[in-house]
Amino acid sequence: MKQSLNRRSFIRGSLLAATGLTAAGAARAEETKAPAAQPAPQPLLPTGKLGEFNVTRLILGGNLLTRYQHGRDLRYINKLVKSYNTDAKVRETIELAEASGINTLSVNVTPSVMLTLGDHRKNGGKIQTILYCTSNIEDLAHYREDLQKIADFGSEAVYLWGEQADRYFREKRMDVMRRALDVAKGLGLPCGLGAHELQTIQLVEEQKWPVDFYIKTLHHHKYPTAPRAGEAVKSTTEVPGYWCRNPEETIAFMQTVTKPWIAFKIMAAGAIPPQDAIPYAFKSGADFALCGMFDFDVVEDCQITRDALAKLQPRARPWRA
């Protein structure tokens, strides 16, 4: 069978062979090109208030932007994500999110992602940020320095990392978290608290801490790798994969909370499709949905959010933002 080979393909193939350029090298060369053309800008997604800021109901999550992911027992996932989400691809994802109607992202302040965000802003990007750091909060002087960098960057809000909040709750040392909150509040920004464990939020509410919003996990257990009866005994676990061990209790308690609620891990780290997860989060009372997205997820997730909010029936929890 005669094969067609145009002149450009022939020359490119010959050059690659002549120079010994590897496939990996070709990929790196492709990465230096200008970012892919973005689609026409879409209207802003529906918004709610965090402090004085209008924040889109769908927020771009940060784990994938920092090349962190929950691979469960699939060991190749870590390498795959790090290979795919180059600095250029992360920048492209942020630009695509903004063009698709998202106006806010939340991410850990790693040096790489902060450089990318800085470049995005220098080139006219206006996406807002809800930032957090993973510094040792027992070293308050260092923690204060890191938080000040967040403020100096111009972040619209900050929150205390949920891994730390859950840890100090388990250790019965919430006084450590409270001191960290006082430092964060000194920035003069809206300040939230993250958690996987519902009891962490319940204690903070009981003690009336001056937090401005919560970032709390929420997802149901109707997916193949969800915990079976009696397996959800920890706050989170990779196998079986869950990050909200008591969704019904979470929904019921959050109905009593008057502060804004950003729900995260709503897709159970990729186990629940967005067509299911996003409507579930809003129907269950979340004011915002924080979703990690690859670039190829962004447009679809934005449309799902628009449709879910347009079709949303009255819900038990009033909008708190």
What is the CATH number for 137? 3.20.20.100
Q: Is residue 7 part of a domain?
A: no
Question: Each residue of 254-291: pLDDT tens digit?
Answer: 999 999 999 999 999 999 999 999 999 999 999 999 99
Q: Is residue 319 part of a domain?
A: no
- Tell me: pLDDT of 113 over 50: yes
Residue 69: band (very low, low, confident or very high) from pLDDT cuts 50, 70, 90: confident
Residue 132: band (very low, low, confident or very high) from pLDDT cuts 50, 70, 90: very high
**Average per-residue pLDDT for the chain:** 89
- Structural tokens at position 69: 């992911």
Residue 34: band (very low, low, confident or very high) from pLDDT cuts 50, 70, 90: very low
Closest by Cα among 143, 193, 199, 207 to 170: 199
Q: What is the pLDDT of residue 89?
A: 96
Residues 6+ apart with CB under 8 A from 221: 227, 232, 242, 247
Q: Is residue 24 part of a domain?
A: no
CA–chain centroid gap for 291, Å, is 5
User: How far separated are the first and last CA of the chain, in Å rounded?
Assistant: 64
Q: What is the pLDDT of residue 8?
A: 38
Q: What is the mean pLDDT of residues 170-184?
A: 97
- Tell me: pLDDT of 74 over 90: no
Residue 71: band (very low, low, confident or very high) from pLDDT cuts 50, 70, 90: confident
| Helix, strand, coil fractions of the chain, as percent rounded to 5 | 45, 15, 45
Pairing verdict, β 58-60 and 288-291 = parallel
| Residue-range definition of the domain harbouring residue 120 | 52-311
Q: For a pLDDT cut of 90, what percent of the chain falls above it?
A: 82
Q: What is the mean pLDDT of residues 112-138?
A: 95
Q: CA–CA distance from 270 to each of 165, 240, 242, 243, 264 (Å)?
A: 24, 13, 11, 11, 12
pTM above 0.85, yes or no: yes
- Tell me: pLDDT of 19 over 80: no
Domain count, the chain: 1
Q: Would you tell me the crossing angle of helices 295-311 and 274-283 to the nearest 10 degrees? A: 40
Q: Is residue 42 part of a domain?
A: no
Q: Which one is predicted more confidently, 24 or 188?
A: 188
Residue 21: band (very low, low, confident or very high) from pLDDT cuts 50, 70, 90: very low
Between CA 282 and CA 288, with CA 285 as vertex, the angle to 5 degrees is 55
For 159, list phi and psi in degrees, rounded to 5.
-145, 160
Q: Is residue 9 part of a domain?
A: no
Q: Is residue 68 part of a domain?
A: yes
Residue 38: band (very low, low, confident or very high) from pLDDT cuts 50, 70, 90: low
Q: Is residue 190 part of a domain?
A: yes
Q: What is the pLDDT of residue 138?
A: 97
CA distance 302 to 97: 8
Question: Each residue of 209-240: pLDDT tens digit?
Answer: 999 999 999 999 999 999 999 999 999 999 99
